């Protein structure tokens, strides 16, 4: 059995973008049948396909990849201690993107951003 959470997220992203399965499949260079399997949890995409999908929707690939790991493992399994997921249901997509971008900054840049944010309060 494949990951239903991943399949549901793909369908949601496609519908929010106003695209058909044909349009997505064409944009990421796969067949519509293959894409349909991904949206119905019938098959798992390759890493390359996940990267192509995340590029198409302009999202962090971790948003897709994190659907495969139960949240309980992310917090309790030491193998995932440095694994950063941005699929927290309490965060909007914009908040998740902001967090992702912030984590790409070096420490000096983070200090500058923190100083700027703190100046508003």
- pLDDT the model gives residue 88: 53
- pLDDT the model gives residue 34: 94
Domains of the chain and any CATH numbers: 4-68 (1.10.260.40), 71-118 (no CATH)
- pLDDT the model gives residue 1: 44
Average pLDDT of the segment spanning 95-112: 83
Answer whether residue 31 shows pLDDT above 60: yes
Answer whether residue 18 shows pLDDT above 50: yes
Which tokens go with 71? 């949240």
Q: Give alpha helix (H) positions in the chain.
A: 4-17, 21-27, 32-39, 47-57, 61-65, 71-76, 93-103, 107-118
Q: Which residue has the higher pLDDT, 1 or 93?
A: 93
C-alpha–C-alpha distance, residues 33 and 39, integer Å:
10
Answer whether residue 71 shows pLDDT above 80: no
- pLDDT the model gives residue 90: 60
Average pLDDT of the segment spanning 52-78: 83
User: Longest C-alpha distance within the chain, in Å?
Assistant: 52
DSSP states along 11-43: HHHHHHHT--HHHHHHHTTS-HHHHHHHHTTSS
C-alpha–C-alpha distance, residues 9 and 80, integer Å:
22
Answer whether residue 82 shows pLDDT above 80: no
Q: Which stretch of 70-74, 105-109, 117-121 has the lowest confidence by average pLDDT?
A: 70-74
């Amino acid at each position: 059995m494949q990951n239903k959470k991943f399949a549901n997220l793909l369908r949601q992203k496609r519908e929010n973008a106003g695209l058909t399965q044909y349009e997505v499949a064409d944009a990421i260079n796969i067949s519509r049948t293959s894409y349909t399997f991904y949206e119905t949890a019938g098959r798992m995409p390759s890493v390359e396909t996940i990267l192509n999908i995340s590029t198409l929707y302009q999202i962090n690939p971790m948003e897709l990849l994190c659907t495969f790991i139960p949240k309980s493992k992310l917090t309790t399994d030491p193998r995932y201690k440095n694994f950063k997921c941005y699929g927290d249901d309490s965060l909007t997509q914009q908040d998740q993107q902001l967090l992702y971008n912030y984590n790409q900054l070096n420490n000096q840049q983070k200090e500058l951003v923190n100083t700027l944010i703190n100046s508003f309060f």
